[in-house]
């Protein structure tokens, strides 16, 4: 079975960030990428790094990764494992334009993070987690 373009690009992007290679993950993004998540909207490569750099410091693994889509949209569902919380289920809708990711819409339950950080779910870089 062949994968559609958005699925291939999104899978490569996920493989990069889940291996904590944020710079490699950014190579799959347009310069004006927009990322929406429960903790904010992040724009461009600077916004991507603001969102992702601190997050991958907390990352201990990803499991149960599932992805499907067509040539322009991919949807991924996975279980993220972080230092402050053992399991955080997330879903992402990834939009691909001209061979690069132009938009990522992320959803995840903020409650485990809110509880881990004392009541309010912070931006990913609010705590300096070490690898």
Q: What is the pTM for the complete model shown? A: 0.83
pLDDT tens digits along 54-112: 999 999 999 999 999 999 999 999 999 999 888 889 999 999 999 999 999 999 887 88
pLDDT tens digits along 14-49: 999 999 999 999 999 999 999 999 889 999 999 999
- Which residue ranges make up each domain of the chain? 5-118
Domain 5-118 = CATH 3.10.450.50: yes
- Residue 4 reports pLDDT greater than 70: yes
| Neighbour tally for 19: CB within 10 Å | 13
Separation between Cα atoms, residue 33 and residue 96, nearest integer Å:
10
């Amino acid at each position: 079975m062949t994968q559609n373009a958005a699925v291939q690009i999104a899978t490569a992007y996920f493989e990069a960030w889940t291996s904590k290679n944020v710079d490699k993950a950014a190579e799959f993004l347009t310069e004006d990428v927009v990322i929406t998540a429960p903790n904010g909207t992040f724009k461009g490569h600077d916004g991507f790094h603001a969102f992702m750099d601190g997050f991958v410091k907390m990352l201990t693994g990803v499991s149960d990764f599932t992805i499907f889509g067509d040539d322009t949209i991919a949807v991924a569902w996975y279980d993220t494992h972080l230092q402050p919380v053992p399991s955080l289920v997330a879903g992402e809708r990834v939009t691909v334009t001209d061979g690069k990711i132009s938009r990522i819409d992320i959803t995840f339950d903020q409650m485990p993070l809110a509880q881990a950080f004392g009541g309010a779910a912070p931006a990913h870089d609010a705590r300096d987690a070490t690898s």
